[in-house]
Amino acid sequence: MTARIGRRVLLRTGLAAAGASGLVAAAEIARRYGLIPPDHGGLYGIGETLTYGSQRILTATHSMAREFSRRDISRIAPVNGDPPETDAYQALLAREFSAWRLVVDGLVTKPASFSLDDLRRLPARSQITHQACEEGWSFIAEWAGVPLAALLDVVWVRPEARWVVFHPFDECWDSIDIVEARHPQTLLAYSMNGGDLPAGHGAPLRLRLPRQLGYKSIKYLSRITLVDSLDHVENGKGSLAPDLGYSWYAGI
Amino acid sequence: MPSLIDLPLPFVLTGQTGWGRSLHFLSAWVMVTTGAIYVAAGLRHARFQWPLYNAAQRRAYLAVVFVLVPMMIWTGLAMSPAITSVVPFVVSLLGGQQSARTIHFAVAIALACFVIGHVVMVALAGFGAYVGAMITGNMPARKEPV
């Protein structure tokens, strides 16, 4: 006498199977649409993935960070940390960065290096935005520079490039995804509050990312590299931040 | 300037913020998901099932579920530069990111006080029985309310 499979057993098994395959499908879709952050590993990686994935979807319409007027600019813009004390940086600083070049390489058709004058000749954008530090303080300042998108066009970024890695003169390397890189407010700033970018705030060039917390706006830029995977870049987690207990994605 | 009081080293295991920051953001997802299911289920049954609790307890629960926790979520999202770029009123209605941060800390203290009182009361009423009831739905047999 064969046993009949009850309706409830069938329904439950079917739902479980659908749920499981749904999860697998969701993971694959997330990976394909760039919704998985490089620090997705481990227990806390689940939270990082949910946060990055949901905010990537919500901000995909190129939502703009609020831009203020000149009278909103903060009287005091705190400087967090000293400029690099390496001989290389100090020598460049002493000569007002006339010998400094920004190297752009990786998955680009026309790799190049740019002096400050070269960058100033590219399309410029000025924005007065709010910077919130993870530590709790914040300030508003006016930043001017070349949009990263404009620079990527000059070097003809290859279509398979998915991440932009920033190498500064200190050890605080970082990266962003290509969608963030093309955002109109993603800026390579050489000017702050109408003057040259001060050393304390990242001279000669810093990244400005107004839709993420301040620690992603890397100072003292030296080199920008386009890659299709962050797995083999340094610690494989997209940034030094996860090694320090911070998130690669700093939208929140 | 060195701090006056430092937490013992084991609390800061893996770096400047340690795992606390990551745990906070993972917990946020757990709380929001669980809370949404809780509120949806309560609204579907047209009331919240708190038969054994007195008026003060019910008022505390209402405050936590409908005021404190939503404020935590709102002020938390108000500190997100990404979310506020999509919906700026989330932060502007609170008077800015610094105001949101202050409110977030104040509400966190209120919630912490609630949790301490809440756990003490559950322990006094029978920890195992009531935690089991919370999970399985089988209320312990008690004649009078707690």
Summarised one tens digit per residue, pLDDT across range A74-133 is 999 999 889 999 999 999 999 999 999 999 999 999 999 999 999 999 999 999 999 999
- Residue of A244, A248, A249 to mutate for B, most B C-beta atoms under 10 A: A244
Q: Is the pLDDT of residue A26 over 60?
A: yes
Q: Is the pLDDT of residue B48 over 80?
A: no
Of the candidates A47, A66, A130, the beta carbon closest to that of B25 is on A47
Distance from C-alpha of B71 to C-alpha of B108, rounded to nearest angstrom? 10
Position B90 scores a pLDDT of 97
Residue whose tokens read 């049954």: B45
Chain B residues in contact with A43 by the CB 8 A cut-off are 26
| Predicted model pTM | 0.88
Q: Is the pLDDT of residue B49 over 70?
A: no
Interchain pair B86, A136: CB under 8 A? no
| Nearest to A146, CA basis, from A114, A122, A181 | A122
The ipTM, to two decimals, is 0.88
In this prediction, residue B130 has a pLDDT band, given cuts at 50, 70 and 90, of confident
Residue A191 CB neighbours (<10 A): 17
Q: What percent of chain B stands above pLDDT 70?
A: 80
At B106-119, the pLDDT tens digits run 999 999 999 999 99
The better pLDDT of the pair B19, A28 is held by: A28
Position B120 scores a pLDDT of 94
At B74-91, the pLDDT tens digits run 999 999 999 999 999 999
CB of A218 within 8 A of CB of A176? Answer: no
At A132-170, the pLDDT tens digits run 998 889 999 999 999 999 999 999 999 999 999 999 999
Position A11 scores a pLDDT of 87
For residue A248, the chain B residue with the least C-alpha distance is B22
Cite the beta strand spans of A54-121 per DSSP E: 102-106, 112-114
Q: Any CB–CB contact under 8 A between B29 and chain A? A: yes
Residues A8-31 have a mean pLDDT of 86
In this prediction, residue A226 has a pLDDT band, given cuts at 50, 70 and 90, of very high
Q: Which has the minimum average pLDDT: A78-82, A241-245, B1-5?
A: B1-5
Position B18 scores a pLDDT of 66
Distance from CA of A65 to the nearest CA of B (A): 4
Mention every residue, 6+ apart, whose C-beta is less than 8 A from residue B28.
A47, B73, B76
Distance from C-alpha of B8 to C-alpha of B127, rounded to nearest angstrom? 30
Distance from CA of A252 to the nearest CA of B (A): 4
Q: Is the pLDDT of residue A251 over 90?
A: yes
Cite the beta strand spans of chain A per DSSP E: 102-106, 112-114, 125-132, 138-147, 163-168, 174-177, 187-192, 195-196, 206-208, 221-227
CB of A92 within 8 A of CB of A99? Answer: yes
Stretch 93-122 of chain B: residues touching chain A, C-beta under 8 Å: 97-98, 101
CB of A104 within 8 A of CB of A112? Answer: yes
Position A32 scores a pLDDT of 80
Q: Is the pLDDT of residue A229 over 90?
A: yes
Position B73 scores a pLDDT of 96
Task: Tell whether omega for the bond before A204 is within 30 degrees of 0, i.e. cis.
Answer: yes
